[in-house]
Structure 1
């Protein structure tokens, strides 16, 4: 009887100690990064075709026909004319804060821009860019590189994280 009672007490102590230990998958309470936040109205109107610029932090590269699309992480896409693969040249830059990925079919681009999926039409020869459709909040809020989710208002969007 005493052995059973000791085992029950040890089991209760074990359960109490384990229940106080935080799970390993909890995000940190604080982050070493701070979010770059845009208001929803500014974010909705943030995709713009601009002149070429230097690549800051390259991401994925897409080859579509005679064009290369190079992601500049969380800021947009560089468009390079690859008509002559020996001498590709920068043609323009699609500024899209929070953009990390693109799929291209014909002249339609499907961009994941932070929380939204955006459909664009692009005419590389004339330089025309039109936002055809924006599906809001398709993707989750962008968390920090160390796993922190920010507290943001309904009218705000996290487009990047910078080390403090």
Structure 2
């Protein structure tokens, strides 16, 4: 019995392994004619951070609260500043346009936001008039693939500019890149 049990366990372990080497598609996901294409911008245009008039929320991301204010990330585009003193009637104050912005954090009177590979430090002591105070270059890693997994995508080309977003499009042939 002492030798039989280990032999049975080993046999079960060996036979439970199944190797597929004949999958006709990458990552076990068949190409369905759609994929993601990078949206490029000029590096100088990406570095431009602008305080703008309030805008409607289109694709909100992370939400951060500070005192009575809400800071709502607009995925890949910037940050909405909303006065939430009256939760029944929040007042949309302004929009900070930041290309490639997905993450925000607040500590004290400072708002930290990613700008593709750069980290921005914004003074929000008075959230009605935010000010960009510092840009820390190359502080955030940037990936040359969409933020989704299990998708086909057109490989990014640094010669075309910096990738600020990804759009889902129809594709005639299967792209080389998959994640």
Deviations 1:121-151 (A, max 9, x none): 2353552422412222622225223264733
Paired residue for 2:166, among 152, 161, 164?
161
**2:64 equivalent to 1:48:** no
Give the total of aligned pairs: 146
Q: Does 1:32 align with 2:35?
A: yes
Partners in 2 of 1:56 and 1:20 — Cα distance?
39
Give the unaligned 5+ runs of structure 2.
Answer: 1-19, 170-179
Residue 130 of structure 1 is matched in structure 2 by: 132
Instruction: Give yes or no for the alignment of 1:152 onto 2:154.
Output: no
Q: Distance in 2 between matches of 1:158 and 1:133?
A: 19
CA gap 1:33/1:149 in 2 versus in 1, 3 angstroms: closer
C-alpha distance in 2, partners of 1:76/1:150? 25
- Helix, strand or coil at the partner of 1:103: strand
| 2:7 counterpart residue number | none
For residues 151 and 134 of structure 1, the distance between their equivalents in structure 2, rounded to whole angstroms, comes to 24
- After TM superposition, give the deviation of residue 58 of structure 1 in Å: 1.1
* Cα deviation digits, residues 34-73 of structure 1 (max 9, x gap): 211112222122x111000111111111111110011111
Q: Give the 3 Å change call, closer, same or farther, for CA 132–149 of structure 1 in structure 2.
A: farther
Q: Normalized against structure 1, the TM-score is what?
A: 0.72
1:96 aligns with 2:101: no
Structure 1: gaps (5+ residues): 1-16
Is the Cα contact below 8 Å between 1:35 and 1:160 reproduced in 2? yes
- On the 8 A contact 1:102/1:111 being kept in 2, the answer is yes
